[in-house]
Amino acid sequence: MSRRMQIVLASFCFCWLFVSTAAAQSGGELRFSIQSEPKTFDPMLADDDSSETIRYLTGGFLIRLNRQTQTLEPELATSWKVSNGGQTISFELRRNVVFSDGTPFSADDVAYTMRTLMDPNLHSPTADPFRSVEGQVKIDVKSPTAIVLQFPGPVANLEELFDSVAIVSAKSPHRDVAGLGPFVVAEHKAGSSIVLRRNPNYWKRDAAGKPLPYLDAVHLDIQQNRDLEMLRFRRGEIQLINTIAPDAFDRLAADMRSAAHDAGPSFDTEQMWFNQVASAPIPDYKKAWFRSQNFRRAVSQAINRADMCRIAFAGHAQPAAGMISPANHFWFNAKLRPEETDVPGALKRLADDGFHLDKDVLRDRDGHAVEFSIITNAGNKVRERLAVMMQDDLARIGIRLNVVTLDFPSLIDRISHSFNYEACLLGLVNVDLDPSTQMNVWLSSASNHQWNPEEKTPATPWEVEIDRLMHAQASTTDNKQRKEYFDRVQEIVADQAPFIYLVNKNALSAVSPTVRNAAPVVLRPQTYWNIDSLYLAAPDPSGRHGE
């Protein structure tokens, strides 16, 4: 082949590649499933996964948490400053931004959004973290691009909370649908699907100046059946799955290695706890066991977390050291280590509390055989497997464990209303980096202080200390100082074991090889956090995600 011919051919190939890439980046409809019908399309009232997905895809935010770097990035606010001990935040806003219906965006919209959000009659779940003390938020619109918000008390982690506040228009006649996000809701078939179309007025552009998002539309199928979701992914009918069970993940990885993504330990924890509620309808001698630090730590030491990771999670989990996952780079206390399995150590701790083994049966000092039941939610195969493994582990120290699975409403009724249970195995889904959103777990007066909710006064000295530290970390803006306080909380929890942390499961997801720029992460939404820059490659002629 002559040199000229080679140049012509190379130029042709380059042009074809450029044109095809540009064309692919300009369009396509991304399809994936949400597990239920969104309870609301109002971004201020979103508190279920599906509504939050809609808010993420359609909302415009002042500040965004980059799910990959775990740092805050400017969006509609070009800069911000927190002052007055975490009580005040001032924003400088982006100019020349318009809502999807063409209405200009200004500080008045931010003022309207915050005023509506903080209205106590709205009962917005997004507003709760802003309410550190009673009182009104003072809003001062300095100019169309500058606004100052002053809260009645210091708000821990103030700027990160704006990652959940989607700005709504104060003036648009189509306020319900006008948004500042990459997509707008175009169609909703109840119980079936939601179609989001590209926002033609979206303000963001890529490095080359090309308007974002690349995708034309996002098609959300309402699909509760996870097996069906996987089947449809394999058939190429959907392109993303945010979370996959470990066994399904391995099957997918075996067939379509490039589609299966394990992003490492997630923020979520699996834990068990004992019921320490004074009024619980369980025998007093069992309450005494559950209140004993030695008993709780002995149970923790008897559990083989490595086996749980290996068997129940097929290797896609890590033994948990505590309430914060190592995936949370800043807030994790690196001094903590997962509890090692130590059966002799567990028996020694039990002996210190007067327990003794009687022909392989553990008895307390009054001769009661140690036996308790653990409740968990039915239908979660992995959790059921964990419970069965715990049965075996505890049998080694003479404890008989009975596993009871309940449907979710019955389980919540037991752990939050009737307190008619002995121990519970459940997971905690952590969606925020900052521990201030866990105030409702760690304060002894809180309703999600599961082992003993809504205590009038802290029942133990260590809970007094946790209360003090949590209040202290919430009332300062110095993150180094906050980290010290929260590290101490993590150490107390590890020592006292009110929650016995078992594992941090890995963030497992599936992304079709046809989706470009995807980089699954551990933070939600794992697969489409960078929805702006996702696009679809030309479809496989076979219609399947082949390898």
Partner 1 sequence: MWIRALPKHFLRLALTIMLGGLLGATLVRLAPGFGVDERELDTRLNTQSIELLRQSHASQRNILGYYRGYLAGLFRGDLGVSTSLDRPVAELFAERLPVTLHSVGIGVAAGWLLGFLLALPAALFRWKAYEIFTAGLSGLFLSLPAAILGLGLVYAGGPASLAIALVVFPRVLQYARNILVQSAALPHVLAAHARGLHRTRVLLWHVLPNAAPLLFALAGISVSMAFGAAIPIEAICDYPGIGQLTWQAALSRDLPVLVNVTLLITVITLAANSLSDLASSAFVRQRI
- Which positions touch partner 1 (CB under 8 A)? 36-37, 39-40, 47-48, 123, 125, 128-129, 131, 189-192, 221-225, 228, 231, 406-413, 416-417, 428, 431-432, 437-441, 445-448, 454
Q: How far is the CB of 378 from partner 1 (least distance, A)?
A: 11
First to last CA, the chain: 34
Could you tell me the smallest distance in angstroms from the CB atom of residue 440 to partner 1?
5
Q: Which is nearer to partner 1, 39 or 310 (CB)?
A: 39
Q: Please identify, using beta-carbon distances, which residue of 87 and 436 lies nearer to partner 1.
A: 436
Q: Which is nearer to partner 1, 45 or 388 (CB)?
A: 45
Cα–Cα distance measured from residue 246 to residue 432, given in angstroms and rounded to the nearest whole number:
23
When the beta carbons of 229 and 487 are compared against partner 1, the nearer one is: 229
Query: HSE (CB half, 13 Å, CA atoms) of 404?
Result: 15
CB 512 within 8 A of CB 33: no
37 vs 342 by CB, closer to partner 1: 37
CB of 53 to partner 1, least distance (A): 16
Question: How are the residues of the chain apportioned to helix, strand and coil, as percentages rounded to the nearest 5?
Answer: 35, 25, 45
Pairing between β-strand 423-428 and β-strand 269-274 as defined by DSSP bridges: antiparallel
Q: What does the DSSP 8-state code read for residue 76?
A: S
**450: helix, coil or strand?**
coil
Cα separation, 20 vs 299, in Å, equals: 60
Query: How far is Cα 372 from Cα 390, in angstroms, rounded to an integer?
Result: 12
CB of 121 to partner 1, least distance (A): 11
The helix-helix angle for 246-255 and 226-234 (nearest 10°) equals: 10
As measured in angstroms, the least distance from the Cβ of 525 to partner 1 is: 17
| Whole-Å CA distances, 67 to 148, 218, 311 | 26, 20, 29
For residue 17, what are its two tokens?
């590649």
Closer Cβ to partner 1, 391 or 410, answer by number: 410
Closer CB to partner 1, 143 or 225, in the complex: 225
> How many whole angstroms separate alpha carbon 386 and alpha carbon 477?
39
Closest residue by Cα to residue 115 from 80, 149, 145: 149
Least distance between partner 1 and beta carbon 515 (Å): 23
Q: Which is nearer to partner 1, 209 or 409 (CB)?
A: 409
Minimum CB distance to partner 1, residue 453 (Å): 9
The C-alpha atoms of residue 35 and residue 55 are separated, in whole angstroms, by: 15
Residue 127 CB, nearest approach to partner 1 (Å) = 9
Provide, rounded to whole angstroms, the least separation between the CB of residue 435 and partner 1.
10
Minimum distance from CB of 36 to partner 1 (Å)?
7
Which residues, listed in sequence order, are joined to residue 135 by a DSSP beta bridge?
Answer: none
Asked if 260 contacts 510 with a C-beta cutoff of 8 angstroms, the reply is yes
Give CA 229 to chain center in angstroms: 21
Q: How far is the CB of 447 from partner 1 (least distance, A)?
A: 5
Contact 305, 341 (CB under 8 A): yes
The residue (of 10 and 231) whose beta carbon lies closer to partner 1 is 231
Nearer to partner 1, 105 or 233 (CB): 233
The whole-angstrom distance between residue 335's C-alpha and the CA centroid of its chain comes to 24
Q: What is the DSSP string of 164-202?
A: G-B---SS-TTTTT--SSSEEEEEEETTTEEEEEE-TT-
Instruction: Tell me whether strands 400-406 and 371-377 are parallel, antiparallel or unpaired.
Output: parallel
Cβ nearer to partner 1, comparing 96 with 457? 457
**Residue 261 beta carbon to partner 1: minimum distance, rounded to whole angstroms:** 24
Closest CA to 304 of 397, 376, 373: 397
Least CB distance to partner 1 at residue 224 (A): 6
Cβ proximity of 106 and 93 under 8 Å: yes
Provide the CB-side half-sphere exposure for 22 (13 A, CA): 9
- The residue among 66 and 193 lying less far from partner 1, judged by its C-beta, is 193
Paired residues of 273 in beta bridges: 424, 499
Cα dist from 70 to 143, 430, 431, whole Å:
31, 14, 12
Q: Which is nearer to partner 1, 69 or 224 (CB)?
A: 224
Q: Are 296 and 497 in contact (CB under 8 A)?
A: yes
Cβ proximity of 185 and 57 under 8 Å: no
Distance in Å, CB of 195 to partner 1, minimum: 14
Q: Pick the closer one to partner 1 by CB: 165 or 170.
A: 165
